[in-house]
Chains A and B, each alone.
Chain A
């Protein structure tokens, strides 16, 4: 059974840093591209970042470029999101999501989400 479990969320001050993790199980992790999607309180979904199965290719939404870094450790079946220079507008539930094999931007499995709150 596919399972994605996020961790690392916290209350953090503006300008601070945080690293989110997403532990994957139940599938061949390195075969799949992975993404981070966030949802601000009471708002809609916002795509944040993607990484290829090998980790060799990454992409980001403009609002996080230069501040966030997506990475993965295929030996540990774990996806990461390093978030620096955090802003209040980064406050959201962050979901990791798996892209369907051979597909692009079709997310067939999602984690339960982890809350990041940026506030002084």
Chain B
């Protein structure tokens, strides 16, 4: 069981907005930046958000990130069927001196 808690699944209709939460603690999210990854079926993970809210080049602004205290949130607007994937949050834990990923959230675009 991961120390970063994500909902197992979320769903929304095409064109709608969805948010995915990632809850941690003071030793991880509370004191370190969060990144978000998208993993399409059968592919390697892809960086969507780094440093809590920054997008790498090529990532559309439909994807956004935020952090408050010991929780982080990924937002996706204008949902497309191609957004159906697993989404993971990640951060460093200073107490464990280890990296952490959330358990992952499966997004279904109905």
Contacts and interface: CB of A to CB of B under 8 A. Distances in A.
A68 interface: no
B24 interface: no
Interface stretch (A19-27, A43-51, A77-85): A43-51
B30 interface: no
Contact of B45 (A45, A61, A105): A45
Contacts of B2: 44
Given A44-B104, A59-B97, A59-B98, A106 B88 contact: no
B101 A95 contact: no
B52 to A, nearest CB: 10
Nearest to B44: A110
Interface in A84-118: 95, 97, 100, 103-108, 110-113
Contact of B99 (A47, A100, A103, A112): A47
Nearest to A50: B99
A67 to B, nearest CB: 15
A60 B98 CA distance: 7
Contact of B101 (A45, A100, A110, A112): A45
Contacts of B50: 100, 103, 106, 108
B56 interface: yes
Interface stretch (B15-23, B31-39, B68-76, B77-85): B31-39
Given A45-B88, A107-B35, 15 more contacts: A44-B2, A44-B103, A45-B45, A45-B101, A59-B99, A60-B98, A95-B45, A97-B45, A105-B90, A105-B91, A105-B92, A106-B33, A107-B47, A111-B44, A113-B44
10 contacts: A44-B102, A45-B37, A59-B97, A60-B98, A61-B99, A100-B50, A107-B35, A110-B45, A112-B44, A113-B44
